[in-house]
């Protein structure tokens, strides 16, 4: 089932963050209904396959107040933050760009020195966010692939496959088959945080858990992992809005 609109965003949208419409996503892996509120204020309802509309409606109704409180909490935290970035710093890879917007029929992004040229039909999150996210994934893939190769050589831990995605709630993951997935948004963090995220996932190639042996292996390669991990856990609330899922 495709994404389905559940409601419309509140009126009064301005240059500051405003909650987009709610969306429904049917997941083959989901066992229970759950709600994800993104930093942008957007809401996604995830439901298992063959969930009835009546069950979905009841679930949303029961959690409507919690959703509203969570949205408002995010909006207060991000008050005044512009929906469309004027500057983007990829601190982990030592690059920064001034963002410029141009009218064009087809969304695309092009680098011109330290300028990032964004061509979109309309200057709105609906066009700009996906265009910037696509650019970030392409940009990060090269840097994260090179960093993973270096750290694999350092640790002796080699993934079967590397993916660069743009997850909304995690910096990386590792599958039992040996596929390491890294979040392109880590390119916006510090070099130390990027290094830790990769080490964290490479160590899962040996221990698919967070046991004492796992953390001992992480500490061998990153002694300061506790402090970096806490910093990354708190980083979601300050991640730029354009990284958020544009729903």
Lowest mean pLDDT among 21-25, 180-184, 200-204, 216-220: 21-25
Residue closest to 60 by CA, chosen among 24, 28, 29, 31: 24
Tell me what pLDDT residue 245 has. 65
SS3 37: strand
Q: Which domain-ending residue is among 77, 104, 120?
A: 77
Tell me whether residue 82 is in a domain. Answer: no
Q: What is the pLDDT of residues 190-215, one digit of tens each?
A: 999 999 999 999 999 999 999 999 99
Residue percentage of the chain with pLDDT more than 90: 64
Is the same domain home to 161 and 212? yes
Rounded CA gap, 5 and 199, in Å? 39
Structural domain of 128: 87-243
| Residues 212 and 91 grouped into a single domain | yes
pTM greater than 0.95 (yes/no): no
Under 8 Å CB-to-CB from 15, ≥6 apart: which residues?
Answer: 82, 83
pLDDT tens per residue across span 109-124: 999 999 999 999 999 8
In this predicted model, which residue has the larger pLDDT, 138 or 38?
Answer: 138
């Amino acid at each position: 089932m495709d994404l389905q609109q559940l409601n419309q965003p509140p009126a009064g949208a301005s240059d500051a963050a405003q909650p987009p419409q709610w969306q429904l996503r049917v997941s083959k892996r989901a066992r229970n209904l759950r709600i994800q509120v993104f930093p942008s204020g957007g809401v996604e309802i995830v439901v298992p396959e063959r969930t009835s509309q009546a069950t979905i409606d009841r679930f949303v109704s029961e959690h409507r107040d919690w959703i509203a409180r969570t949205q408002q909490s995010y909006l207060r935290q991000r008050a005044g933050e512009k929906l469309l970035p004027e500057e983007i710093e990829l601190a982990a890879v030592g690059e920064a760009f001034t963002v410029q917007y141009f009218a064009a029929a087809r969304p695309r992004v092009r680098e011109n020195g330290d300028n990032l040229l964004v061509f979109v039909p309309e200057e709105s999150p609906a066009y700009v966010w996906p265009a910037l996210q696509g650019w970030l994934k392409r940009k990060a893939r090269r840097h994260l692939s090179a960093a993973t190769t270096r750290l694999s050589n350092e640790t002796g831990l080699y993934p079967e496959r590397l993916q660069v995605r743009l997850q909304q709630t995690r910096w990386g993951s590792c599958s039992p088959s040996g596929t390491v997935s890294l979040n392109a948004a880590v390119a916006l963090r510090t070099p130390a945080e990027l290094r830790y995220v990769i080490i964290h996932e490479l160590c899962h190639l040996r221990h698919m858990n967070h046991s004492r042996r796992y953390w001992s292996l992480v500490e061998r390669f990153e002694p300061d992992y506790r402090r970096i991990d806490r910093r990354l856990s708190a980083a979601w609330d300050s991640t730029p809005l354009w990284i958020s899922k544009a729903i």
